């Protein structure tokens, strides 16, 4: 990795951070097995967020996530992986991270700037920049959601790793439900959208039909009764998570099935947890192209593994 000089902080998006943070009021249940630790120690939790052209949606998501994470009594990190965006996603995330760093300093929160540098991977061309507790990884080209999540997971350090979508369809306070499952002995806890009382805005009927068909085939591929493979809210024990993702090869939306297939094959225990979820009509899924590619991924998973 080659280090490059610091760049000047980008001055935008602080107001979005403040406004969205004020609009969210949450409690902060602690995972049962965690004692209070120094917030500058190795993070207990890594939150990985893949982002492709998310300049519009990610400010509010990061604001809500940051407010909740700051209420917790253990160390954490956020890793945003920009998947070759053509909009201002990178600028917005850098600005929010810089604004949060200033806010932490003013509020006397612990700040770790030891890694506040830009690094570049000569092999992949990806660059990584840490600003306080937020790390931004930039992929040189659009490689797919699976590749973005894999990059973030392999860069994580947490004892638990959560990956969550950039639209914030599942509020981060739902994390405590998944952590309770890990505390009870499960190795993986995945959110599901099967409890319709927790779904405040549903998908269009055609996406629901496509999703049901894909989930049926995914269950056959995995060999386990997974109710909802595609909900973008999954929590995994850190070392196991990094081990599984190191084996993965699917670059697109089918990566969730590959993850669960490898986990089931390895004998990992999986808890399925109903979570609050709200459909975002600005989804990046192309309903004509992506379902076909995902069906092809199911075949590739069995051929590759």
pLDDT tens for residues 162-204? 999 999 999 999 999 999 999 999 999 999 988 878 887 666 6
Structure tokens at 281: 């009509």
The residues spanned by each domain of the chain are 2-200+231-239+270-281
Q: 168: phi > 0 → left, psi -120 to 50 → alpha, else beta; which?
A: left
Q: What is the average pLDDT across 233-255?
A: 97
CATH architecture classification, 2-200+231-239+270-281: Alpha-Beta Complex (3.90)
In this predicted model, what pLDDT tens digit does every residue of 43-63 receive, in sequence order? 999 999 999 999 999 999 999
The pLDDT of residue 2 is 44
The pLDDT of residue 268 is 98
- Radius of gyration of the chain, Cα coordinates, nearest whole angstrom: 18
Number of H helices, E strands in the chain: 9, 12
Helix, strand or coil, per DSSP, at residue 180: helix
User: Are residues 137 and 79 in contact, defined by beta-carbon separation less than 8 angstroms?
Assistant: yes
4 pLDDT higher than 50: no
The number of CA neighbours under 13 Å toward the Cβ of 19 is 6
The mean predicted confidence, pLDDT, of the chain is 83
Question: What sections of 86-203 are H helices per DSSP?
Answer: 89-106, 145-155, 175-183
């Amino acid at each position: 990795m080659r280090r490059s000089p610091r760049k000047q902080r980008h001055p935008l998006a602080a107001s979005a951070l403040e406004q969205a943070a004020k609009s969210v009021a949450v409690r902060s249940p602690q995972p049962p097995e965690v004692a209070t630790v120094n917030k500058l120690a190795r993070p207990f939790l890594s939150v990985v967020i893949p982002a492709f052209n998310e300049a519009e949606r990610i400010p509010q998501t990061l604001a809500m996530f940051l407010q909740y994470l700051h209420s917790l009594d253990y160390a954490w990190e956020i890793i945003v992986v920009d998947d070759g965006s053509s909009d201002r996603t990178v600028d917005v995330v850098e600005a929010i991270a810089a604004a949060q760093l200033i806010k932490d300093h003013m509020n006397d929160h612990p700040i770790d700037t030891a890694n506040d540098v830009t690094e570049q991977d000569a092999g992949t061309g990806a660059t990584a920049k840490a600003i306080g507790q937020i790390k931004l990884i930039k992929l040189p080209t659009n490689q797919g959601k699976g590749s973005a999540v894999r990059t973030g997971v392999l860069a994580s350090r947490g004892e638990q790793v959560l990956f969550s979508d950039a639209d914030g369809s599942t509020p981060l306070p739902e994390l405590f439900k998944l952590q309770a499952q890990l505390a009870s002995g499960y190795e993986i806890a995945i959110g599901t959208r099967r409890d319709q009382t927790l779904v405040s805005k549903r998908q269009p009927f055609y996406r629901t039909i496509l999703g049901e068909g894909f989930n049926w085939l995914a269950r056959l591929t995995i060999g386990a009764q997974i109710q909802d493979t595609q909900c973008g809210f999954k929590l995994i024990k850190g070392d196991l998570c990094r081990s599984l993702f190191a084996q993965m090869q699917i670059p697109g939306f089918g990566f969730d099935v590959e993850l669960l297939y490898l986990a089931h094959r390895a004998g990992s225990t999986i808890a399925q947890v109903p979570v609050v979820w709200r459909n975002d009509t600005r989804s990046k899924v192309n309903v004509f192209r992506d379902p076909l590619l995902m069906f092809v991924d199911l075949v590739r998973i069995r051929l590759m593994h």
